């Protein structure tokens, strides 16, 4: 801590500000979860390679979509881990690192929400596509999908899209308000 009296925090303010470090175990847990997804990806990849000659094109497509789904969830985890830690806990000080993700330079809570919403829409899209392909491949008999289940999956996907549009619209309106306030001063 600096010796500058204006930089000293009261004990209560230091406690409140320091409480952000309680999120560290949460981010570490997400890193472990990402490791689980790596294991799942490798397992699915081995299964795909092992059955490549005996699987139909549609089943291979379903397996590849499953791999893409795992990658998209892993990307979502990276955004939450890196972006959330940088936004809510502490700076990572990566400014001169050659692998610094471009999006991290302008990450804030709003940008993170929009990116997360878009990632969730992408994941939902993959799930919905897998459902449609599985129904087309297996038909309704022998399938785990019901008409009502597919309808709800589609409705939930549409709600995700509308939510992302709402978040983006709110962000746009807030940026206009900030720009207007800056011009007023």
pLDDT (tens digit per residue) in 40-63: 999 999 999 998 788 888 888 888
Cα dist from 178 to 174, 181, 185, whole Å: 6, 5, 11
CA distance 131 to 137: 10
Query: Residue 31 — pLDDT band, cuts 50, 70, 90?
Result: very high
* One-character DSSP codes across 104-117: GGG--HHHHHHHHH
1: pLDDT strictly greater than 50:
no
pLDDT at 141: 55
pLDDT at 58: 80
Please list, in sequence order, all residues whose beta carbon lies within 8 angstroms of the beta carbon of residue 92, skipping any fewer than 6 positions away.
82, 85, 86, 104
Share of the chain above pLDDT 90, in %: 34
Lowest mean pLDDT among 15-24, 40-49, 51-60, 70-79: 51-60
pLDDT at 42: 96
pLDDT 10s digits, 143-182: 677 788 889 999 999 999 999 899 888 888 888 888 888 8
User: Is the model more confident about 3 or about 121?
Assistant: 121
What's the mean pLDDT in 127-142? Answer: 73
- The four Cα atoms 156, 161, 166, 172 give a dihedral, to 10 degrees, of 160
Could you tell me the pTM of the whole model?
Answer: 0.71
- The four Cα atoms 107, 109, 115, 118 give a dihedral, to 10 degrees, of -170
What's the mean pLDDT in 33-42? Answer: 95
């Amino acid at each position: 801590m600096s010796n500058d009296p204006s930089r000293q925090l009261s004990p209560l303010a230091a406690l409140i500000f320091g409480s952000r470090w309680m999120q560290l175990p949460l981010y570490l847990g997400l890193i472990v979860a990402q490791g689980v997804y790596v294991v799942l990806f490798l397992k699915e990849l081995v299964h795909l390679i092992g059955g490549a000659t005996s699987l139909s094109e549609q089943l291979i497509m379903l397996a590849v979509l499953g791999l893409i789904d795992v990658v998209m969830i892993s990307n979502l985890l990276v955004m939450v881990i890196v972006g959330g830690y940088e936004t809510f806990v502490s700076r990572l000080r990566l400014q001169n690192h050659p692998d610094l993700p471009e999006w991290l330079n302008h990450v804030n809570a709003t940008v993170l929400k929009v990116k997360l919403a878009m990632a969730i829409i992408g994941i939902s899209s993959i799930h919905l596509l897998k459902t449609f392909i599985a129904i087309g491949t297996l038909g309704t008999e022998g399938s785990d999908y019901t008409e009502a289940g597919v309808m709800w999956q589609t409705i939930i996907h549409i709600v995700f899209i509308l939510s992302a549009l709402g978040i983006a619209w709110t962000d746009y309106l807030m940026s206009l308000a900030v720009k207007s306030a800056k011009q007023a001063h």
